Amino acid sequence: MPAITVCEIFASIQGESTHAGRPCVFVRLAGCNLRCAWCDTAYSYEEGNEMSIEGILDRVDPFGINLVELTGGEPLLQPDSPSLVGALCNAGYELLIETNGSQDIEHIDPRAKIIMDIKAPSSGMADRMFWPNLEFLKPDDEIKFVLATREDYEWASNLVRNEELAAICSILFSPVFGMLKPADLAAWILEDRLPVRLNLQLHKYIWPPEQRGV
């Protein structure tokens, strides 16, 4: 039987992406192959308990919320994750998958919406991106850049222009909370007329930024 190591399952307000503000159930899987310098969920590297796919669905259902996000850690790292994705889609959920871009998404159920994080230089993980993934993104998927410095911004904005990423799907520019001022990032985007969306971590403004389960 497929088994998934789950860090936590909880309901909250979706804090990021074009779905920000919507009620959402988060299924956070354990384990990650990257170690970003500013990671805010390092506890998911090791914490977790094995659950069956049926057990996960049984935990999600009572929340009564149709939007579900599979996150981590890196949710596509576990070999049975595609089976979980298919089961959640088959159950009728609107499914988001937040992935760090290092794992092949070609065979992920197309009913799921991918939110792919392209790691900027300050993360220390920019060289871990699996670039062929850009070929498999759909118009309703999203690309996210988490930025800590002006150098990150320049790197990301050049990539958006040179690869014409906005023609693929929505592009999100997110400031690292407490490191890059949202007003500065907004000013840069406006100055350069970039075709991107400013993406704040809404949950960190509603609740204490270190609080879990929100």
In the predicted model, residues of the chain with pLDDT beneath 50 are none
The sign one gets for the Cα dihedral 33, 85, 139, 146 is negative
pLDDT at site 99: 98
pLDDT at site 210: 85
Q: Which amino acid is at 130?
A: F
Please state, in angstroms and as integers, the Cα–Cα distance from residue 81 to each residue in 78, 133, 155, 193, following that order: 5, 17, 31, 38
pTM score of the predicted model: 0.96
The domain spans of the chain are 3-206
User: Of 3, 85, 83, which Cα lies nearest the Cα of 51?
Assistant: 3
DSSP 14: -
Fold of 3-206: TIM Barrel (3.20.20)
